[in-house]
Structure 1
Amino acid sequence: MLAVVLAVQFMAVLDVFIVNVAAPTIGTELDASGAALQLVIAGYTITYAVLLITGARLGDRFGHRRVTLVGLCGFTVASLACGLAQSGGELIAFRMVQGAGSALMIPQVLSLIQRHFAGQARLRALGAYSAVIAVGAAAGQVLGGVLVSADLFGTGWRLVFLVNVPVGLALLALGRRELPRDETRGQGRGRPLDLPGLLLLGGAVSLCAVPLVLGQEEGWPLWSWLCLVASAALFVLFCGYESALARRGGAPLIAPRVLALPGIGLAVFRVLAVMAVNAGFLFAMTLHVQAGLGYSALRAGLTFAPIAVVFGAVGLTWRRWPERWQRAMIPAGFVLAAAGSLGTALALRDGAGAGFWLYVSFVAVGAGLALGFSPTLTRALAAVRPEDAADASGLLATVTQLGQFVGVAAFGTLFLNRVEASGASGAYSSADALLVCAYALAGAAALGAVSGLVRRRR
């Protein structure tokens, strides 16, 4: 069972990073703008993030096995449609459907781990879960470059989506055989879905996403600022509605009770910071090395591989490190990530290519993000009771995706805006934009470091 659900998780993570490397090639072949490329990546995470908690609730209500298989089927079909897309608009739409499929299947992974493992076995399973995320990131960077550069049968970038089809079909067959049968009666089966909360949250995220992604390209017109104001207003309404629903004894999308669990509030902030830094760094770096330095997709993927490899190695081994290091891991990780982001931009300044200090900085970024993410997630979920598993896992998975959306939208927009504002061209302009982006990334990581100094309630 664990192998199957982790393979499902691996495929979803792989898809995020494999597309990241293919983005410049997609832009060239489909004549897509920088904003369209952001939507190809962020569109997936938007629907993924907004629907994740509902996906967790559906699994709790109708059965984790059933919902996993339905989501896997939707993800596989949407992957096929993405691979056959003929325009940027079609690809964005199919990516959003793909995100909806992920939102159904991915929350079940953590829920099944929470419900079927206990004690040290649960800690080991959660450690494997974190490691799979890291390995999927590493494999996505390299495999994306390999598939795009191979251009098998003239498919080019399309193969990064089509590769999901045979894998998805195999997992559907294995899942039907290996996933535990759903109980005839479950604890969460009577809870209604929070459709008003879903609409409010979806509206708030969408009204934030559109101006962040398209505003820079359109010159920040009045409508973009009005959308941001409306997004903030909807988010306030969402929070008020959820609190009122909880007081009435309903089943809110995000239960205040779950946010009040020891360690969850801090975990939400730290995971959001880690994923925003990670996604923003990779998006800006991908555009810089391929568009600015002229690297092929394969060379770009291999260039980034050390980050994900170190992330995976640290994610797998941190629990075996000396006890006296454990308390300082999270703040130290964010400090390393900030230093690595700045070091990367400085190593590539003036249009320079890869060198020794670049890879030292990559190691710092990979290790720092792993130390900020893996201990945070494992410690927060290890203390969650089984009856809170669906809501807690859905919440943290949602924050993971929202963090990636924020990173691509905010830091990606900053990078693209700086490229245009510099007035230069080529590698120098891109390196200048990367340095400005790195300062912002380091600032976000510094906030994470401060949060790492806060001790969780017992």
Structure 2
Amino acid sequence: MTQTLPPEPAPAVSNAAATPTGHGARRTVALLAVILTGQFMAVLDSSIVNVAIPSIRDDLRTSGSSLQLIVAGYVIAYAVLLVTGARLGDRFSQRRVFIAGLAVFTAASLACGLAWDETALIVFRFAQGIGAAAMVPQVMTLIQRDFTGNARAKALSLYSAIISGGVVIGQVLGGLIVYADLFESGWRGVFLVNVPIGLALLVAAPKVLPADSARYHRAVDLPGLGMLTVAVLLLVLPLVLGHEQDWPLWTWISLGASVIAVGAFLLIERVVAVRGGEPLFARRALRAPRLLLTAATLFVVMATFGGWMFVIAIHLQSTLGYSAMHAGLLFVPMGLTFALGSLYWERLPARSHARMIPAGLVVAAVSMVAMGMLLREGAGFGVVALILSGFMGLGNGLAFSPLMTRTLARIPRDLAADASGILVTNVQLGIVVGIACFGTVFLGLAGATTVSAAHALGGTAIAEGVTVLVAAVLAARAAR
């Protein structure tokens, strides 16, 4: 594959170093397989539960707000703690923190599968997010440190594809697992599937992860972390709980307080920097070319993407009455086209890459609105909807993966963990906000009948399509 990304700011390496052979090549492939499988599990769990929502609601008698917390609670913890996880990797070594995060994630997955009520499931989902936040940041650092040349470019493309593609695959896999109902596990299977995979990775990781390298005694910005957590919770909780409680006064106070908390977080970060400490978001990383613009673009893209996945999963099962497997299989065209776009975009002429990213988002926006209009009268999910779903996946695949890959390729190796932490944090926060905002729009518009719920889907699709166009404008600037 011809490498068209800007050269990395590192010393030149030989072809042998760029593409290992023999035993070294096998060890490199094993390393990439382990860390990307861990990454894939973490991303998968942000969406695999979507298709299981109706089963969870029926079994545990959960409310709509609790369902949103079950979905979003994992992503909240994951997003808020990602950058801290990167710092811990620098301090205690990527090998140790990856394995520790994997162990926590696997144990929490088992606990989720055995949860006895909605409160327990919400708590264990937060624990899952904590494990993912420790594990995932180490992946980018290991790629930047242990891969060079064309091998590094391919690893970055796989990394970017997994971050976004895992969300789609989660919908498909969730439906298949719930339908299969192995050992009468029902919805619990979407969590228990992580356990054997996690245990296998825990056996393999110590054998293939590189030995501990020189560690950096980087301080963890606890005041910044605490204030960021407060700001996110003040924003997300009223969005999740407000609709069901008919927007009481506390929800509006909380939303206003979230703005103040963001200001306080920025002030704390500035004070930490002035005193010679290390802010949660490294200032050098924030100054990297187009990093903040890319982060904002990815936030908006994943807010619409995550929100749509949540809403359409509810519509297919609760409104149209499809089974979990039927609903899951309907995401296959989106998953396939998304994978094609994410993995093969570099084969397009290099001169088209900058224009391809916003163009892909425009295709995704038009497809989403068209699908909403098609389904707004209560129609079933037929051939035309499947085609539109495929175009939506292709558009997002041609935008997300190249945008992230091209940005990370410009980042110096010593800032790789911080930069990837910033980008992935925005991706995960986007999913949280998208589920909360667009989920609230859909649930607020939906009535008791099939037609009213279908109209709600159409209205939500228009709102999301307009938002994707905003992301296209941002992407056009970030991709130049």
What TM-score do you get using the length of structure 2 for normalisation? Answer: 0.91
- Counterpart of 1:336 in structure 2 is 363
Matched, 1:94 2:124: yes
Matched, 1:58 2:94: no
Matched, 1:385 2:412: yes
**2:376 touches 2:456 (CA, 8 Å); kept in 1?**
no
Q: What are the equivalent positions in structure 2 for 1:210-359 lying under 5 Å apart?
A: 210-359=237-386
- Counterpart of 1:116 in structure 2 is 146
**2:441 touches 2:460 (CA, 8 Å); kept in 1?**
yes
1:217-274 residue CA offsets vs partner (Å, 9 max, x unmatched): 1111110001111111011110121123223321000123211110201210111111
- Counterpart of 2:63 in structure 1 is 33
Matched, 1:161 2:188: no
**2:101 touches 2:132 (CA, 8 Å); kept in 1?**
yes
CA–CA distance in 2 between the matches of 1:282 and 1:78?
Answer: 24
Q: Which amino acid aligns with 2:301?
A: V
**1:346 touches 1:435 (CA, 8 Å); kept in 2?**
yes
CA–CA distance in 2 between the matches of 1:256 and 1:192?
Answer: 14
- Given the alignment, which residue of 412, 426, 432 partners 1:405? 432
**1:270 touches 1:372 (CA, 8 Å); kept in 2?**
no
Q: What are the equivalent positions in structure 2 for 1:61-76 lying under 5 Å apart?
A: 61-76=91-106
- Counterpart of 2:166 in structure 1 is 136
Residue 130 of structure 1 and its aligned partner are, at CA, apart by 2.1
CA–CA distance in 1 between the matches of 2:204 and 2:223?
Answer: 36
- Given the alignment, which residue of 162, 177, 184 partners 1:147? 177
- Counterpart of 1:430 in structure 2 is 453
Residue 426 of structure 1 and its aligned partner are, at CA, apart by 3.2
- Counterpart of 2:9 in structure 1 is none
- Counterpart of 1:6 in structure 2 is 36
Q: What are the equivalent positions in structure 2 for 1:433-452 lying under 5 Å apart?
A: 433-452=456-475
Q: Which amino acid aligns with 1:407?
A: G
CA–CA distance in 2 between the matches of 1:135 and 1:438?
Answer: 21
Residue 135 of structure 1 and its aligned partner are, at CA, apart by 4.8
**1:122 touches 1:382 (CA, 8 Å); kept in 2?**
no
Q: Which amino acid aligns with 2:335?
A: A
Name the count of aligned residue pairs: 450
Q: Which amino acid aligns with 2:46?
A: V
CA–CA distance in 2 between the matches of 1:196 and 1:178?
Answer: 36
Residue 138 of structure 1 and its aligned partner are, at CA, apart by 4.2
CA–CA distance in 1 between the matches of 2:458 and 2:283?
Answer: 39
Where 1:120 maps in the other structure, the secondary structure is: helix
**Overall identity of the aligned pairs, in %:** 50
1:394-439 residue CA offsets vs partner (Å, 9 max, x unmatched): 111111110110110110111111114xxxx332122111111111
- Counterpart of 2:23 in structure 1 is none
Where 2:241 maps in the other structure, the secondary structure is: helix
What TM-score do you get using the length of structure 1 for normalisation? Answer: 0.96
Residue 203 of structure 1 and its aligned partner are, at CA, apart by 0.2
1:87-125 residue CA offsets vs partner (Å, 9 max, x unmatched): 111101100000000000001111111111233222111
Residue 141 of structure 1 and its aligned partner are, at CA, apart by 2.1
- Counterpart of 2:396 in structure 1 is 369
Q: Which amino acid aligns with 1:140?
A: G
CA–CA distance in 2 between the matches of 1:453 and 1:146?
Answer: 37
CA–CA distance in 2 between the matches of 1:454 and 1:131?
Answer: 22
Where 2:119 maps in the other structure, the secondary structure is: helix
**2:45 touches 2:170 (CA, 8 Å); kept in 1?**
yes
CA–CA distance in 2 between the matches of 1:120 and 1:143?
Answer: 31
CA–CA distance in 2 between the matches of 1:41 and 1:267?
Answer: 25
**2:355 touches 2:479 (CA, 8 Å); kept in 1?**
no
Q: 1:437 to 1:2 in 2, by over 3 A?
A: same
Where 1:181 maps in the other structure, the secondary structure is: coil
Of residues 445-454 and 57-66 in structure 1, the stretch that sits farther from structure 2 once superposed is 445-454
Residue 66 of structure 1 and its aligned partner are, at CA, apart by 0.2
Q: 1:269 to 1:4 in 2, by over 3 A?
A: same
Q: Which amino acid aligns with 2:128?
A: Q
**1:270 touches 1:376 (CA, 8 Å); kept in 2?**
no
CA–CA distance in 2 between the matches of 1:434 and 1:396?
Answer: 29
